[in-house]
Amino acid sequence: MLDMKFVREHAEEVRENIKKKFQDHKLPFVDEVIALDKENRSLKQRGDDLRAQRNSMSKQIGGLMKNGKREEAEKMKQAVSAMAEEMKQIEETEAEVAKKLEELMMQIPNMIDPSVPIGKSDEENVELERFGDPVVPDFEIPYHTEIMERFCGIDLDSARKVAGNGFYYLMGDIARLHSAVISYARDFMIDRGFTYVIPPYMIRSNVVTGVMSFAEMESMMYKIEGEDLFLIGTSEHSMIGKFIDTILDEKQLPFTYTSYSPCFRKEKGAHGIEERGVYRIHQFEKQEMIVVCKPEESAEWYEKLWKNTVDLFRSLDIPVRTLECCSGDLADLKTKSVDVEAWSPRQKKYFEVGSCSNLTDAQARRLKIRVNGEDGKYFAHTLNNTVVAPPRMLIAFLENNLNADGSVNVPVALRPYMGGAEKLEPKQ
């Protein structure tokens, strides 16, 4: 959420930013919030004036009564009573105006970084850099579920009976590989100085609206019926929510966390043939990075975060590339974002396995995450990035480490988590 003062003083820049994000239907919101803000400030001023008059007249009433001027005192009491009634009406109107103002402000997107390429959708994202040489072997690579089935490692049919489409049973070596990747990612980030956290897997509605836009909430979140609770779509939600309505000591910054959680997502919309199996699912596990820092440090942390993901994938012999997200592909709270994509030898192209985002003070402003600094209070900056998210990551792992005989190599970094195994052999 933007600062109202900024919108008031830079209305044309805000409108231009909305156009760059191809959200022209939100252009009227700018004039609406400016008008509501003016009305809100006027109501506050009138309320303050009435309170000052009431306090002054209340003191005078005492003096009049003391001097026996009862009639004048009674007239003044009536005036004070009328003021109280007007103040009550002002407070009610002020609350309504403030609510409308906040609802509109939460729909105006964050200002994008000047370096962000302008484009309507993810098809216009810009490749930045490649890491590792993508290889296409001289043997056919099966679809990822077929590879898993050779290890007796997946059961989608039973999962459909139990929970429906978008769920799975992982078993045996594949299940162990899944857990090994998560454990390795955890230790990888701990070695880089991040504090390991297991957060709540459910959050209240005020946290939901603090960490994401309304559109994201509708398309992603599962609501717990009868309770003010939602299942998290990523641990970023509860990790940023950890700081809700707090004043942090500047000397404590930055907070650097790596959090584990299961994640739950509706995943609405049509899914292509390449998104079958365990690519796009309703339940998965993820290791995340979260940083809460000073505004002047967020750009540097942004670079560090996505590089952590690249380094982790390269340590598992998986080639990756980074893509700069264009303006139309940025969620409303993000000022800048880069996707990390892994190489698929089977598809002969890259696919998304993680996303790093700088949200500047957008989440902090919504959640009231303030910092007490030497020059006064200010809003913190928040960033997040995927460390690793199996089972999608398993697709890249299995394809890039598959051998012609159906066995799968276990990279050196992962062997301690797989009982020392150098290779996994298929069961059938």
Q: Which of 150, 321, 366, 392 is catalytic?
A: 392
Q: Is the Cα torsion angle 177, 182, 188, 190 positive or negative in sign?
A: negative
State the CB neighbour count (10 A cutoff) for residue 136. Answer: 12
Contact status, residue 241 vs residue 259, Cβ threshold 8 Å: no
Q: How far is residue 109's CA from residue 106's CA, in Å, rounded to a whole number?
A: 8
In the set 102, 267, 274, 352, the catalytic residue is: 352
Concerning whether 160 is annotated as a catalytic residue, the answer is: no
Q: Which amino acid is at 28?
A: P
Query: Active-site residue 70, yes or no?
Result: no
Query: Parallel, antiparallel, or unpaired: how do β-strands 246-249 and 369-373 relate?
Result: parallel
Q: Which of 355, 357, 365, 366 is catalytic?
A: 355
Report the alpha-carbon distance of residue 105 to residue 14 in Å, rounded: 11
Strand partners, 369: 246
**Listed residue (367, 284, 318) closest to 130, CA to CA:** 318
Calculate the dihedral angle through the C-alpha atoms of 238, 320, 335, 328, rounding to the nearest 10 degrees.
-110
Cβ burial of 403 (10 Å; 0-12, 13-18, 19+) is middle
Going by their DSSP bridges, the two strands 202-203 and 195-197 should be labelled as unpaired
- Active-site residue, 238 included: no
Q: Is 392 a catalytic residue?
A: yes
What type of residue is 58?
S
Whether the CB-CB separation of 150 and 339 falls below 8 Å is answered with: no
How many of the other CB atoms lie within 10 Å of CB of 115?
9
CA separation for the pair 336, 301 (Å, rounded): 12
Cα dihedral across residues 345, 421, 167, 159: positive or negative: positive
Alpha carbon distance 371, 291 (integer Å): 14
Query: C-alpha dihedral over 103, 108, 113, 117, to 10 degrees?
Result: 140
Strand partners, 202: 231
Distances (CA, A) of 382 to 217, 258, 290: 19, 14, 7
> Residue 322 phi/psi, 5° resolution?
-115, 145
Query: Which of the residues 15, 54, 150, 265 is marked catalytic?
Result: 265
- Clarify whether 280 is annotated catalytic: yes
d(CA 108, CA 79): 43
Options 41, 192, 280, 415, the catalytic residue: 280
**Residues marked as catalytic:** 265, 280, 352, 355, 392
